[in-house]
Chain A
Amino acid sequence: MIDLSHLTKVYGDTAVVDDVNMHVEAGTITVIVGTSGSGKSTLLRMVNRLVEPTKGRILVQGRDVLKMPAYELRRSIGYAIQSHGLFPHWTVARNIATVPMLLGWDRKKVAARVEELMELFQLDHAQFAGRYPHELSGGQQQRVGVARAMAAKPALLLMDEPFGALDPIIRGKAQADLKAIQRRTGTTILLVTHDMDEAIHLGDRIAVMDAGQLKQYAPAADILARPADAFVDDLIGTADRPFHYLTLGTLGSAVEPGEADGAPLAASASLYEGLGALLWSGRKAAPVIGDDGAPLGRVSLSGITDRAAQPR
């Protein structure tokens, strides 16, 4: 979907993005993490040419973006940012319709698409379509921002700390919703964050940036298990590592035969959630049930903790 080769951006005499090579698979979520000022946003913004690269090449779906008119490229790529940038003088519906209108869709099709998206993002059409952005909560504004980015069904969606301004509970929900929507639509997402939890939760692959360089680019489990260098190691945080690791697996993968007492746990819950439930209820094991409620066996404390150890 995206191919970056030798991508470089120089401001003054510092390369804020320094010779980055990267390939993003279609239909996946790739998360770019790194400390503040490491060049994440600059990298992201070169993909839709809000920033012009100093050097290098960017292919999106095999097309060289530097050879397309910028406005045409951008209409085909969704873009959502932390401060959402909604147009304050337009209603929610008009904001969401921005790109379809630019593309000249007919009115009926635009209206239908707006309704569909508002439903997808759980914004009641009757209640919110005619409101102006300043009449929404931060979480609602953020959802409208993402809906606007996805309005013309772009195959690629760029997101720069889209959930950065939300409180932890809303953020968790927004992340889960985004992931579900992405799985349903198959949109390729390139997302910037400096929250490692978010990266591990959302990312099929994680790209770690430091001082403009791509330090490691791998699936979350690999980054946790085998950090490329001291910087990546640091970013993950030694204490959190086993717990991050547990968020990646499901209880289904730790089921063992046998029975246990107490409330059953869902096989689709993460190992991390399972561990929490066991610890809190003071049990050494709990029964596991599938999505259909059928008993599958049990999970034990030791069965889960074994999976938190560094793989070798």
Chain B
Amino acid sequence: MIRPGLLLRLVVFTALIAFLAMPDRFAGLLAPLTDNGAPAIYNQGSLVSLTLSHLFTVALATSAATIVAVGLAIFVTRPAGAEFLALSRAAVNIGQTFPPVAVLALSVPAMGFGEGPTRLALFLYGLLPIFENSLVGLSTLPPAVVESASAMGMTGRQRLLKVELPLAMPLIIEGIRLSAVIGLATATIGSTVAAKGLGEVIVAGLQSNNLAFVVQGGVITGILAVLISDGFQILARRTSKRRGASPQASRPATDGQQAPV
């Protein structure tokens, strides 16, 4: 039996593919949003290639952020790195609080126009959720389990790879999910510094007062975000499914589990 949620996602995904493959077929749908016979479908570049480069930029930035943030979280949860916890937190927090637009403005003189500044901005912006989640995941493991790993004669490295990381994985994946979703939305600002991406469509729409462009750029980005977020959630559930309730219980309230009012 196919669950309704899954069915809905399949429909949305198919619609997205159809739109990207044959956007002109959808022109009629978007035409009411245009004035004075302006084009309803973005015509200054291929939507497929803009979507792919948007995704590529996010994937690159999120992967780099994952490597750095998880690595840092591992480091500060080892005895040797414990004293760097506060420092790392501060650094990662600055990455998050510094507005991505400002990163773009500051990095263009050094890196030039194009994808570079966007990737840097997304990377810095994406560190915090991954770092914080990994940190929670690695530092809230059941003490008896971690101690058992040592008591059985695992070396520090074996304990990390065989026990700590697998057990922290659902939370780490949750962090990557947040980072990827935020990145997907934030990447649209890259078009202000000439990065190829879906932001280009939105900005073009704003400049020519063409609502149809804004809507198609925004909707494609939104659908990608939802689908990618779902993908990560399925992955996280898979990694936590087998070990009872514990990871669910220790998960920070990041996804819709609201506290009772």
Contacts and interface: CB of A to CB of B under 8 A. Distances in A.
A91 B151 CA distance: 19
Contacts of B158: 102
Contacts of A99: 152-153
A128 interface: no
Contact of A88 (B150, B155, B244): B244
Interface string B190-221: 00000000000000000000000000000000
A74 B153 contact: yes
Contact of B244 (A50, A84, A132): A132
B83 interface: no
Given A88-B167, A89-B242, A134-B244, A50 B149 contact: no
Interface string B158-196: 100001001100000000000000000000000000000
A71 B154 contact: yes
Interface stretch (B30-38, B64-72, B97-105, B139-147): B139-147
A71 B144 contact: no
Contact of A85 (B148, B155, B167): B148
A87 B154 contact: no
Contacts of A83: 144
Nearest to A135: B244
A50 B151 contact: yes
A16 interface: no
Interface residues of A, number: 25
A102 B167 contact: no
A197 interface: no
B167 A86 contact: no
Interface residues of B, number: 21
Contacts of B242: 89, 132
Contacts of A134: 243-245
B246 interface: yes
Contacts, number: 66
A88 B246 contact: yes
A50 B143 CA distance: 13
Interface string A126-139: 00000011100000
A42 interface: no
Interface in B18-35: none
Given A81-B144, A88-B243, A102 B152 contact: yes
Nearest to A76: B153
B147 A50 contact: yes
A31 B70 CA distance: 44
Interface string A252-268: 00000000000000000
B152 A89 contact: no
Interface in A81-134: 81, 83-89, 98-99, 102, 132-134
B244 A85 contact: no
Contacts of A148: 152
Given A84-B144, A85-B145, A89-B166, A79 B243 contact: no
B151 A71 contact: no
A71 B153 contact: yes
Interface of A: 48, 50, 70-76, 79, 81, 83-89, 98-99, 102, 132-134, 148
